[in-house]
Amino acid sequence: MSSITAHPSPGTLTTGHKKVIFASSLGTVFEWYDFYLYGSLAAIIAKQFFSGLNEASAMIFTLLAFAAGFAVRPFGALLFGRIGDMVGRKYTFLITIVIMGLSTFVVGALPNYASIGFAAPAILIALRLLQGLALGGEYGGAATYVAEHAPNGKRGLYTSFIQTTATVGLFLSLLVILGCQKALGKEAFEDWGWRVPFLLSIVLLGVSVWIRMQLAESPLFQQMKAEGKQSKAPITESFFSRNGKIALLALLGATAGQAVVWYGGQFYAMYFLQQILRVDSTTTWLMIAAALLLATPFFVFFGWLSDKIGRKKIVMAGCLLAALTYFPLFRGLTHYATPAIHDASAASPVTVHADQKTCSFQFDPVGTAKFTSSCDIARSALIKASVPYTVVDAPAGSLAEVKVGDSTIASFEGAGMAKDALKEKTTAFGAELRTALNAAGYPEKANPERMNKPMVLLILFVLVLYVTMVYGPIAAWLVELFPTRIRYTSMSLPYHIGNGWFGGFLPSLSLALVIWKGDIYYGLWYPIIIALMTFVIGCLFLPETKDRDITQ
């Protein structure tokens, strides 16, 4: 079998180097495609696999299952990072792509909740865990592999192509989803056609394995192996020595903020449009895909710029800009995507007057909790309607009331009621509330004729532009912080804790905060606080690395 080989040179990259970068990046695109299908289809998956829960819990639990794949990424980083530093980069690539591809294919064939009950979400979460483990070993290897082929002065530019793969993978998943939906029809797609993009991953798996088989081992790793300088304990050397302090600073001062800006600008923006502003899924996917298409070249631009002015300045600037502008940008999304919510909230604000001791957090992960207090019933109805509200404390023991402008709708106490009676009265309460909301101008779904699509696209573009600022230079920065013998392990763990935990849990945590407070913007406090933390720690404690020679 032929293989692509390349050797480091002090000048410009050779054709062989460019083939290595292309082959590595293309395989990584396919792996991200597999991973992001779940995120893009979260609303449908909630109905298929978590239909035994209430609506709010189903969506949060779906997002938590999405986040489960991120939660185990650090463990994948340790496992495959150790293999990559001891055995080699190429063979680790092959293992991760096979695990990812097969797990994604099985998701497409998995029976839903209606067919096998709680076994369906349990198996789904197990598959997400396998995907997360595989992805935990993927990124560090790809970034390290490309960086170790690039000459000094161009690592930012050439590793930035790896940075485009996550967004390109998301873009590809959206295109396949839209194509399947158009070919099958929306109803058939939501019933069974959503499985097709997952099943198609078996084709991508074959292509990706073939691509990875063409790659030769990293020349720096080959040289290190030939000289007998490999680490015998990369985990110990990475995190239980002086290097551990650098890894911790890389997490808190670089990847944590980068992660929340990334997932806030791409995934949370998508959920915000769909779940809170009630924009239909097709329009949301098209708008997100268009923003990604426009902004993707800036990954390469900021990677190139980081070779000129430094990695640190660009990443820190992206974190600060996001923290300062998220509130006005997301308010702008409301104003331009669903102006009726913006107008109605200003003219007829919704308040829940209730004894706050009777108000529960609207989250039921196992489907057994009973939200039957008058406050819970009122808030559940408002959550289902995606209406922003505030809770005003009322005298102890009083029944909750919902005030919509000048209208007042009395809630009721559901404790002790028979199931059918409770359902009937809840439906009647919801209908009365919906009538009042309609009269006040609160929409049941976004009106496409009132949507200012150019402005929505502009805001989404700005959000993704922040993503390119923090993500474009991050691979080069992390690679340059650590020595060759433990580079794969050392950079992988802070990257995947940052992106897997700080970033991966962002959609579910932010949505839970929205449900808790009733304020549709309250969830933004999470990415803002983390981005500001990273800005302060990164500016004070992390070095600039653009001029380091990683071959030494």
CATH of the domain at 537: 1.20.1250.20
Q: What is the pLDDT of residue 339?
A: 93
| Assigned domain for 546 exists | no
Shared-domain flag, residues 359 and 496: no
pLDDT at 257 > cutoff 70: yes
Tell me which range, 53-62, 129-138, 380-389, 537-546, is most confidently predicted by mean pLDDT: 537-546
* 373 DSSP 8-state letter: S
Q: What is the pLDDT of residue 26?
A: 67
Shared-domain flag, residues 368 and 407: yes
Shared-domain flag, residues 53 and 175: yes
Q: What is the pLDDT of residue 526?
A: 95
Q: What is the pLDDT of residue 295?
A: 92
| Assigned domain for 551 exists | no
Q: What is the pLDDT of residue 7?
A: 42
- Residue that terminates a domain, selected from 393, 415, 440: 440
User: Which value, to the nearest 10 degrees, does the dihedral of the CA atoms of residues 59, 64, 66, 68 take?
Assistant: -160
How far, in Å, CA of 464 to CA of 460, rounded? 6
CA distances from 99 to 105, 131, 136, 206 (A): 10, 7, 11, 12
What is the rounded average pLDDT of the residues 363-378? 71
| Assigned domain for 1 exists | no
Q: What is the pLDDT of residue 9?
A: 43
Shared-domain flag, residues 429 and 454: no
pLDDT at 534 > cutoff 90: yes
Place of tokens 């299952």: 65
Shared-domain flag, residues 479 and 498: yes
Q: What is the pLDDT of residue 482?
A: 84
| Assigned domain for 116 exists | yes
Among the ranges given (151-160, 190-199, 270-279, 479-488), the one the predictor scored with the smallest mean pLDDT: 479-488
Token pair listed for 229: 């300088």
Shared-domain flag, residues 367 and 435: yes
Shared-domain flag, residues 53 and 86: yes
Shared-domain flag, residues 287 and 184: yes
How far, in Å, CA of 274 to CA of 394, rounded? 33
Shared-domain flag, residues 284 and 302: yes
pLDDT at 148 > cutoff 70: yes
| Assigned domain for 7 exists | no
Token pair listed for 26: 């293309």
| Assigned domain for 250 exists | yes
Query: Is residue 301 a contact partner of residue 472, using CB atoms and an 8 Å limit?
Result: yes
Give the count of domains, the chain. Answer: 2
- Residue that terminates a domain, selected from 391, 422, 440: 440
| Assigned domain for 528 exists | yes
Spell 409-447 as b/e; 16+ CB within 10 A means b: bebbebeeeeeeebeeebeebbeebbebbeebbbbeebe
CA distances from 156 to 164, 308, 466 (A): 12, 9, 17
Please provide the average confidence, as pLDDT, over all residues in the chain: 83
Shared-domain flag, residues 84 and 161: yes
Question: What is the CB neighbour count within 10 angstroms for residue 133?
Answer: 24
Q: What is the pLDDT of residue 254?
A: 95
Q: What is the pLDDT of residue 237?
A: 66
What is the rounded average pLDDT of the residues 448-463? 95
Tell me which range, 55-59, 69-73, 473-477, is most confidently predicted by mean pLDDT: 473-477
What is the rounded average pLDDT of the residues 447-464? 95
pLDDT at 10 > cutoff 50: no
| Assigned domain for 8 exists | no
Model confidence band, residue 364 (pLDDT cutoffs 50, 70, 90)? low
Burial zone of 541 (CB within 10 Å; 0-12 exposed, 13-18 middle, 19+ buried): middle
Q: Which domain holds residue 357?
A: 343-440
How far, in Å, CA of 85 to CA of 148, rounded? 13
Residue 94 vs residue 276, higher pLDDT: 276
pLDDT in tens, 305-328: 999 999 999 999 999 999 999 999
Shared-domain flag, residues 425 and 312: no
Q: What is the pLDDT of residue 4?
A: 39
pTM of the predicted structure, to 2 decimals: 0.81
Q: What is the pLDDT of residue 362?
A: 62
Question: What is the CB neighbour count within 10 angstroms for residue 11?
Answer: 8
Tell me which range, 242-251, 315-324, 385-394, is most confidently predicted by mean pLDDT: 315-324
Among the ranges given (43-52, 85-94, 423-432), the one the predictor scored with the smallest mean pLDDT: 85-94
Q: What is the pLDDT of residue 171?
A: 80
CATH of the domain at 428: 3.40.30
Shared-domain flag, residues 415 and 269: no
Amino acid type, 344: A
Residue 113 vs residue 188, higher pLDDT: 188
pLDDT at 438 > cutoff 80: yes
What is the rounded average pLDDT of the residues 474-494? 83
Query: Is residue 459 a contact partner of residue 265, using CB atoms and an 8 Å limit?
Result: no
pLDDT in tens, 266-294: 889 988 998 889 999 889 988 988 998 89
Model confidence band, residue 240 (pLDDT cutoffs 50, 70, 90)? low
Q: What is the pLDDT of residue 501?
A: 84
Task: List beta partners, residue 306.
Answer: none
- Residue that terminates a domain, selected from 414, 440, 466: 440
pLDDT in tens, 150-180: 778 888 888 888 888 877 887 888 888 889 9
Query: Is residue 58 a contact partner of residue 46, using CB atoms and an 8 Å limit?
Result: yes
Q: What is the pLDDT of residue 536?
A: 97
